[in-house]
Amino acid sequence: MPTRFQVNGKPVSVDVEARTTLADCLRHHLRLTGTHVGCEHGVCGACTVIVDGEAVRSCLLLAAQAEGSSVVTIEGLSNDEALTPLQASFRRHHALQCGFCTPGMITTAHALLSEEPDCDADRVREVLSGNLCRCTGYIAIVEAVLDARAAYKKEDGR
């Protein structure tokens, strides 16, 4: 079925099966493979994208349900020139190893920090409890997110 929405600021038009999740639509139809698919049933958080400003699991959303909305993926939170403050903070704190969960961590953290740039460690831990990482033990990830707060207080972190 034909579906239109925005991805990273650009209008897109796709023709997908009704059962296609937004995650699969992004990866297979739009070739935006930065969004990772881990569990496919809403547990791991790897597929998190930002829809109309809110972090959501793209495996628990049909592409058809995204009709008319504005989607931001990990590709929309990076650029070719330099690391964003959030990316730089992840690098500085060694907050990734294999990198599989990282797109979901970054999109979730970006949504959180955009809305709550003054959040504390407890809040970061609570929010990231929906994202699984099998490498790092989470401590470095929490530190990286906390350290990136300053950039979001000034501007939108991009």
In angstroms, what is the minimal distance from the CB of 48 to another protein?
6
Nearer to another protein, 57 or 93 (CB): 57
Nearer to another protein, 60 or 88 (CB): 60
Nearer to another protein, 87 or 108 (CB): 108
Name the residues that contact another protein, by CB under 8 A: 1, 17-19, 21, 24, 40-42, 45, 48, 54-57, 59-62, 64-65, 67, 108, 112, 125-127, 129-130
**How far apart are the C-alpha atoms of 117 and 113, rounded to whole Å?**
4
In angstroms, what is the minimal distance from the CB of 156 to another protein?
19
Helix (H, G, I), strand (E, B) or coil at 7: strand
Cα distances (Å, whole numbers) of residue 51 to 67, 83, 118, 148: 11, 23, 22, 22
Given a contact cutoff of 8 angstroms between Cβ atoms, the answer to whether 140 and 93 are in contact is yes
In angstroms, what is the minimal distance from the CB of 98 to another protein?
21
Nearer to another protein, 4 or 94 (CB): 4
**How far apart are the C-alpha atoms of 53 and 103, rounded to whole Å?**
16
In angstroms, what is the minimal distance from the CB of 80 to another protein?
28
In angstroms, what is the minimal distance from the CB of 90 to another protein?
18
Given a contact cutoff of 8 angstroms between Cβ atoms, the answer to whether 96 and 136 are in contact is yes
DSSP for 121-145? HHHHHHHHTTS--SSS-SHHHHHHH
137: number of Cβ within 10 Å: 10
Nearer to another protein, 127 or 142 (CB): 127
